[in-house]
A and B are shown apart, each in its own frame.
Chain A
Amino acid sequence: MTCAVFTIFWKEFRGFVTSPLAYIFLILFLLWLGVNYFFGNIAAGGSFTGIQVKEASLESLFQALPSAFVIIVPALAMRLWPDEIKLGTLELLMTYPVRSWEVVLGKFLAGLALIGVALALTLVTPLTVDSYARTANGLDWGPVWGSYAASLLLGGAFLAVGLFAGALCREQVTAFIVALFTCGMLVLLGTSAFLIQSADWFADIARQVSFTVRFESMARGVLDVRDLVYFASFTALFLFLNVVTLEARKAS
């Protein structure tokens, strides 16, 4: 990592740590996952009468994660560019001897680190579930690590989309809505409710493009090279588009 990337990363990460908004979103994220996991799926009418966990498995915890990320990650990403544009610091930034890709990468890594922190804070749940297993088998940690890897890659992809949306829009809210819609569509495309309604040819494409199918594939504990390439290339593409947008701003 170059020095400029690290400097920007550190500045942005510090910005997150000192921003009340980031805390609010992290707290909402943790509450959503915790309540969803321990009390059943609220959206599906889950009750608040007792703990619903019967198996030492975190499948339902990570099932709720893409829907939480669809809101949380664009919300975290929305301030990264529009603030710079609004305050005029983007022009100032462009005058510094840093390259556009270094700025983009620095901001991306800062966001990714925050997502990493959010995910790390959920580790208390697998540890709890493992400690309450009836037999020595305990929790199968393979799917847990697979789910965490998938979550980080999914978060990275959402963040890249969020950053790109932020670079396109002057307003935070617009950036948030654009990113929310894009990420939401990419999640929705792979849900069985959507696939069932679609024509065969479209369902095949949707299955290839959707985050949900890739995420579920990794979350079962299998790291497939196709899923890794998909997430990595998708993220790289949007980061690159972000750089192009910055260059366009410079050129204008």
Chain B
Amino acid sequence: MNVSRSRFWSWVAGGALVAGITLALNVAVSDVRMEADLTQDQRFTLPPAVGRICSNLSDTCRITVYLSDPMPSYLRHLSRSVSTRLKEMNRFADGKIEWEFVDPGQDQELLKKLADLKLQPLSLQDVRGGEAVAGVYWMTMVFRHGKEIATLPLTDLGQDILKEERTLASLPGFIAARILRVTQPDISVGIVSDKKLPPQNPMNPQQQQEAMDGLKGLRDRLATHCRVKDVTLKNGVPVPDDVKALVLFRPENLADVDLYQVDQYLMRGGRVIVLHDSRSMLDFDREQAIGMGLQQGNFAPRAVTSGIDAWLTHYGMKPDVGVLLDKACFQSQRLGRQQVTGPGGVPMFVMTPVTSDMPALMNVIESDKDGKPTGQVDATELCLTGIAQLGFLAPSPFTVESASFSATHKGGNLTTLVSSSPNAWVSDAKDTLPFGVTPPSEGLARRPIVMRASGRLRSFFAEKEVPIAGEVVPDAPKPPRGLEESQPGNDPQLWVVADADFAFDVWPQVLGQRLGAIGGARALVNTSVMLLNMVDASILGPEMVEIRRPRLADRSVDEARVKADRESILFNNIALMPLALVAFGIVVFIWRKAQTFVPSHRAAAVSTAPAVPEGESGGAST
């Protein structure tokens, strides 16, 4: 008995020791960051591109993290997440990232400085002691490099801010973008667009309206990592030299004198990205007309004369005046009128949801369901890799002028980056473009949608008179000729997209609800990402494109197929395995019965034998 007791106490001591070791082990590894990211796109691992941006830092980048203390309970992880990621990034930066956490509290001087940076605290609700408490909280990062300052309101992370692991996944990209912004202050992107007054607010007709172009979203996304400048092309004012890329948003009636400046900018090795439309589907100043058209099952296109068609043709891309429609498209749901027979045989009309193809909203995919390339997307292009699906709203396609391009631009390259499916056709719809247009039996072909001319290019104005601003004065001295050709080693890039609607702020309000359920909205967002990638790939290199890439994979479910196979899916996933278990259990039961069956002539003999503990829970078999 004593031996037994001493063994028991030795086990108890052992138990205490194991508990201590367990605790110590967990405390010891709590700071160890060793993990295997099993996700396909490595989305929880610090992207190598972020590491490269950090390792390129030449001077110290100072980051002040303004976080209130305490934060609301659901955001308590923020300080930990930010400091975890900054520590990791600092390893790449070789200690050139310095950061501090500051709670602005009631420091009036600091609050004034933050207000000067246009930073505001957020009013949030928290639950304390079971009661909702409203409070004002700071959660902003300010980046300083020399004289440059950039800000990162942590609310930019969106929903990701609420979960620690998601914050950890998205934060490095945001931080890296701001580091680029402050370390490369001379990189600017110019936007050329027409600013118009929005329609009067009927509730407040006296309200002063500000002219706008509907590109706030694009500007905000570019401003995270580079400067954005509004460039006005008027009376032949040259494109500023610090503009590294120039976005021409849906040019309309661009005068030759202004086009000449764009052309000269191109010849100086500039990057020009043209969003060209011969038919505009969306305009923020005619939202009402577009909405009414959509209600009636029509798009209401507006003819656009860009003034640059001949210029584009010179660079091998001849725009078409019609719109491109494609059998490979998204669908739309709308209420359709259906005739039914009412009481007493009276014909009645009821509104029922009708789903129909919308050939005007093209669905461009990189590979089909079997993983085979569709030939629609040049997947080797940096700005397109990782984008599985793109959407275009009635683009105006090009005809590729390869022969004339090669003859004119010795050493130039003309590349098609995105095309329609082989089942696309051009419609010359002018005023209305109905949904669900029936494809013609002939004239279906693959048409280019996104193209690029690069390498050594010859100016459109090389053999032409230099355009002059204002009235032509006879005998006036001719203006000096500009560059007739791009210079070696300073190769320009001209990117042209046959659609501009996707970049427009207005489409989510107008089309979002209609497209949300069918995946078209996501595709249009992806096209905006392609535009950002074009800008970044042409002026910054691959880093920002690589950082964006993991978030692009389309993993949506084919809802039409799910709907069609609904019963079989539910049976296979809910009922099949339980039924299989029941069947297996019955087989086991029958087998057990057969095993334990004892013939009657042996039963008498067995009954005299001593009882043996048996059963499913006994330890006899051991």
Q: Which residues of A contact B (CB under 8 A)?
A: 4, 7-8, 11, 14-15, 17-20, 23, 26-27, 30-31, 34-35, 37-38, 50-51, 53-57, 79, 83-84, 87, 89-90, 92-93, 96, 98, 103, 121-122, 124-125, 128-129, 132-143, 145-146, 192, 195-198, 200, 203, 208, 216-217, 220-226, 229-230, 233-234, 236-237, 240-241, 243-244, 247-248, 250-251
Interface hub of A96, A134, A195, A216 (most chain B Cβ within 10 A): A134
CB of B206 closer than 8 Å to a CB of A: no
Of A8, A124, A135, A248, the residue contacting B388 (CB under 8 A) is A135
Interface of A (DSSP majority class): helix
Instruction: For A55, list chain B residues within 8 Å (CB).
Output: 555-557
Instruction: For A92, list chain B residues within 8 Å (CB).
Output: 613, 618-620
CB of B574 closer than 8 Å to a CB of A: yes
Contacts A136-B369, A196-B73, A222-B37 given: A34-B615 contact, CB under 8 Å? no
Contacts A89-B620, A135-B369, A240-B18 given: A142-B557 contact, CB under 8 Å? no
B7 near A247: Cβ-Cβ < 8 Å: yes
CB-contacts of B581-602 with A (<8 A) = 581-582, 585, 588-589, 592
A27 near B582: Cβ-Cβ < 8 Å: yes
Instruction: For B37, list chain A residues within 8 Å (CB).
Output: 142, 221-222
A244 near B559: Cβ-Cβ < 8 Å: no
B556 near A134: Cβ-Cβ < 8 Å: yes
B-side interface size class = 35 or more
The contact string, 1 if C-beta is below 8 Å from chain A, for chain B 564-579, is: 0110011011101110
Of A14, A197, A216, A229, the residue contacting B26 (CB under 8 A) is A229
B15 near A225: Cβ-Cβ < 8 Å: no
A17 to B577: give the CA distance in the assembly, Å.
15
Contacts A27-B582, A90-B619, A136-B368 given: A236-B554 contact, CB under 8 Å? no
Instruction: For A250, list chain B residues within 8 Å (CB).
Output: 4, 7-8
Q: Which residues of B contact A (CB under 8 A)?
A: 4-5, 7-8, 11-12, 14-15, 18-19, 21-22, 25-26, 29-30, 32-41, 44, 70, 73-74, 76, 126-127, 129-130, 165, 365, 367-371, 388-389, 519, 553-559, 561-563, 565-566, 569-570, 572-574, 576-578, 580-582, 585, 588-589, 592, 613, 615-622
Contacts A96-B622, A198-B73, A248-B11 given: A38-B569 contact, CB under 8 Å? yes
In the complex, besides A135-B367, A226-B30, 20 extra interface pairs with C-beta distance below 8 angstroms are A15-B617, A18-B589, A23-B585, A27-B578, A35-B574, A50-B566, A54-B556, A56-B557, A84-B617, A87-B617, A124-B576, A128-B569, A134-B557, A136-B369, A140-B40, A143-B39, A203-B76, A222-B38, A248-B8, A251-B8
Of B40, B127, B572, the residue contacting A141 (CB under 8 A) is B40
Instruction: For B11, list chain A residues within 8 Å (CB).
Output: 243-244, 247-248
Of A133, A198, A224, A240, the residue contacting B555 (CB under 8 A) is A133
